[in-house]
Amino acid sequence: MIYLDNNATTRPLDAVVEAMLPWLREGYGNPSSTHRLGQEARFAVEKARRQVADLLGAAPRQIIFTGGGSESISLALRGSLAARSDFSSRGGLALRGSVATNGGPAEASSRPRMVTTNAEHAAVLAATQTLEQDGVEVRRVRVDANGRLDVAEYAASLEDGATLVSLTHVNTETGVVEDVVESARIARRRRALVHVDAVQSVGKLPAGELCSVADLVSIAAHKFHGPKGVGALFVADGIRLRPLVAGGGQERDLRGGTENVAGIVGMGVAAEAAREALSEAPARMAALRDRLESGLAALGGGERVVAAAAPRVCNTATVLFPGVVAETLLIMLSESGLCASSGSACASGSVEPSHVLLAMGLSPSEARSAVRFSLSRFTTDAEIARTVEAVAAAVGRLRGQAGGR
């Protein structure tokens, strides 16, 4: 099996699994308990917090463990707006001091405003849609043909004030790297809170400067060879959040519920390994990605790499195969032992073309022909060669069938 769907999830490291097992067996104490088993679990959680903080270049006190990337994103967006606002009796958000008329919603001028883009991950899209239902004004800035933020439109969207900005560091479908550091500085000058979705960038790009300018940063363990079901949110000092889950005071009162000790321990081990691999792994992955793209471009059917002119993360290649339906190609590749994707895993199974690719100006038919190959630091030269061969054979069969109709 050749696995090139690492933007969806990665294989947990053997060291991660081994580190988790004791906390699923004999180390089952509740980390909030005062007895020995509980305090051993607490020590393990705090060690992992330090490991994740080191990966991000942050302080341990700034790391809040969550149930994954999507929860981290929701806590950042909804929690920060709620902390600055009051929930109305109907459960919606209304800015403090806003004026409601005849029991209706607050006037538009007093509504909290959020700025994001039209090419965000589904977790951000879903969160913003629910926020809109609760009365938050959401402005979605366009991206250009290379999937990068329209800086002029972005700056203009902040001119008359914004409460919160949310941007993705690395796009999960295209691998395009956004200059979130400069965008964050623009927002901070206008006194907006800044959230960065770094789920796809952590472990592939340094994060230290990111956490120096952003107020909130979301990550997920399973994107850098950790376990599923655990993530973290970086919260800069002085930033107030309202929890999504109330409980017994865990995670600085920001995420109620007994901590997932085994998952958190696994995330810590994965974070330490990712930090150690940053000096060499990205360059190696980039070389393999370039080899893959060159091999696919040589197929001669007009194959094209999406956002080839933009800065991209080291492991991601999204390729258009004209005349081919990606979902059909992926089924054939899977049968031959090759795993890839047609886009974000959260949108798999949808017959609709990728909203990210449409936002970049691709036609629906082009978007439906897009296949994403995402490598890991364990991908080999031999696997890339076999991938090019498998894709060439499958695409040739599909185009031959189309030509015979």
| Rounded Cα gap, residues 253 and 247, in angstroms | 8
Boundaries of every domain in the chain: 2-8+280-403, 14-277
pLDDT higher than threshold 60 for residue 158: yes
Nearest alpha-carbon partner for 81 in 223, 300, 239: 239
Adjacent-strand bridge partners of 246: none
pLDDT higher than threshold 80 for residue 91: no
Task: Tell me what percent of the chain is helix, strand and coil, each rounded to the nearest 5.
Answer: 45, 15, 40
- Judge whether 2 and 383 are in contact, CB under 8 Å: yes
Residue 93's pLDDT is 53
pLDDT higher than threshold 90 for residue 315: yes
pLDDT higher than threshold 90 for residue 271: yes
pLDDT higher than threshold 80 for residue 329: yes
- Judge whether 77 and 124 are in contact, CB under 8 Å: yes
Q: Are strands 316-320 and 304-305 parallel, antiparallel or unpaired?
A: antiparallel
The owner of tokens 């085994």 is 262
Mean pLDDT of the chain: 91
Start-to-end CA span in the chain (Å): 32
Here the tokens at position 270 are 């994965």
DSSP state of 107: P
For 97, what's the count of Cα atoms within 13 Å in the CB-facing half-sphere? 4
pLDDT higher than threshold 60 for residue 308: yes
| Rounded Cα gap, residues 10 and 1, in angstroms | 14
Nearest alpha-carbon partner for 69 in 275, 226, 248, 236: 226
Query: Which of 101-115, 124-138, 190-204 has the lowest average pLDDT?
Result: 101-115
Between helices 122-133 and 69-84, what is the axis angle to 10°?
Answer: 30
Q: How confident is the model over 388-402, as a mean pLDDT?
A: 92
- Judge whether 139 and 157 are in contact, CB under 8 Å: yes
| Rounded Cα gap, residues 82 and 112, in angstroms | 10
Residue 160's pLDDT is 87
CB atoms within 10 A of CB 332: 17
Highest mean pLDDT among 126-130, 220-224, 245-249: 220-224
Here the tokens at position 31 are 């980390």
Residue 92's pLDDT is 52
Q: How confident is the model over 260-276, as a mean pLDDT?
A: 98
CATH number of 2-8+280-403: 3.90.1150.10
Q: Are strands 193-197 and 164-168 parallel, antiparallel or unpaired?
A: parallel
pLDDT higher than threshold 60 for residue 264: yes
| Rounded Cα gap, residues 364 and 356, in angstroms | 11
Residue 85 banded pLDDT, cuts 50, 70, 90 = low
Residue 140's pLDDT is 97
DSSP SS3 for 67: coil
| CA distance readout (Å), 330 to 215, 324, 391, 399 | 39, 10, 9, 14
Residue 400's pLDDT is 86
pTM of the model: 0.92
CB atoms within 10 A of CB 63: 26
Q: How confident is the model over 337-354, as a mean pLDDT?
A: 72
| More confident position, 93 or 121 | 121
Torsions phi, psi of 84, nearest 5? -90, -10
Q: Exposed/middle/buried for 141, CB within 10 Å: 0-12, 13-18, 19+?
A: buried
- Judge whether 178 and 200 are in contact, CB under 8 Å: no
pLDDT tens sequence across 11-40:
999 999 999 999 999 999 999 999 999 999
pLDDT higher than threshold 50 for residue 96: no
pLDDT above 90 covers a percentage of the chain that reads 87
pLDDT tens sequence across 272-294:
999 999 999 999 999 999 999 99
Residue 99's pLDDT is 31
pLDDT higher than threshold 90 for residue 66: yes
Show Cβ contacts of residue 356 under 8 Å, excluding neighbours closer than 6 positions: 119, 147, 171, 173, 174, 343, 344
Domain 14-277 architecture: 3-Layer(aba) Sandwich (3.40)
Choose the catalytic residue: 211, 314, 339, 346: 346
For 346, what's the count of Cα atoms within 13 Å in the CB-facing half-sphere? 13
Q: Are strands 193-197 and 216-220 parallel, antiparallel or unpaired?
A: parallel
211 annotated active-site = no
